[in-house]
Amino acid sequence: IAADIKPCRLLIPLAIACGLGGSMTLIGSFGNLIARDYMLEWSNGTQTVAFFDYTPIGVPMFAASLAIFWFWGDKLVPSDRQPGEMITQIKEKDYSNVPQWKQILSVAVFVVVVLMMMMADVLGMDIENIAVWGAIVLVVTKVVTVKSAFASFQMRTVFVIAFMLPIGTALT
């Protein structure tokens, strides 16, 4: 970059600004649309949310975040991290010495969770709750630590799923 500024020092504030900017209108965030739908459903159509009804809350949040990044942003955004540093740390781990009982239990939990997700309607459970219970079993049995469980999340996948859910609902 010609200005010798690391991308993460610009992209993190940009992502936060985009998220807060999206909270200013009805269609800026799918959560706003979901809240509107529930309000319509629960009030039997008597109450609704207009396009800019979220703006009085979104503008002060955006202004406060802008002020925080203006005055303290250099302390909040990491400057010493190198691109790909987290990926390198993950790839360096050696999993060859994992006990066999942990391997078997993790595969068993995975199979049970997938089967329960397939039968979620019959069981009367949400697939999200089934996944959370599977993760809890792995953490309680110390197959994985809480820290390693969170470190294994691929945020790109989480975002893709989160943004595809409203599209699926709209198509339905």
Residue 26 has pLDDT above 70, yes or no: yes
- The larger pLDDT score, comparing residue 67 to residue 50, is at 67
- pTM here is 0.43
Cα–Cα distance measured from residue 89 to residue 70, given in angstroms and rounded to the nearest whole number:
31
142-153 pLDDT, tens digit per residue, is 988 888 877 777
Instruction: Tell me the pLDDT band of 105, cut-offs 50, 70 and 90.
Output: very high
Residue 90 has pLDDT above 60, yes or no: no
Range name among 8-22, 78-92, 95-109, 111-125 with the lowest pLDDT average = 78-92
Average pLDDT over residues 104-114: 92
3-state secondary structure of 104: helix
Average pLDDT over residues 12-26: 83
Q: Which of 120, 168, 169, 156 is nearest to 15 (CA)?
A: 156
Q: What is the dihedral of CA 28, 30, 33, 34, to 10 degrees?
A: -160
Find out whether 113 and 130 touch, Cβ atoms under 8 Å.
Answer: yes
Instruction: Tell me the pLDDT band of 1, cut-offs 50, 70 and 90.
Output: very low
Instruction: Tell me the pLDDT band of 172, cut-offs 50, 70 and 90.
Output: low
Residue 65 has pLDDT above 80, yes or no: yes
DSSP string, 25-42: STTS-HHHHHHHHHHHHH
- The larger pLDDT score, comparing residue 142 to residue 32, is at 142
Average pLDDT over residues 21-26: 82
Find out whether 8 and 2 touch, Cβ atoms under 8 Å.
Answer: no
Query: 139 CB contacts (<8 Å, ≥6 apart)?
Result: 145, 146, 149
DSSP 109: H
Percentage of residues in the chain having pLDDT higher than 90: 10
Q: Quick one: pLDDT at residue 109?
A: 94
3-state secondary structure of 22: helix
Cα–Cα distance measured from residue 166 to residue 172, given in angstroms and rounded to the nearest whole number:
10
Q: Quick one: pLDDT at residue 92?
A: 62
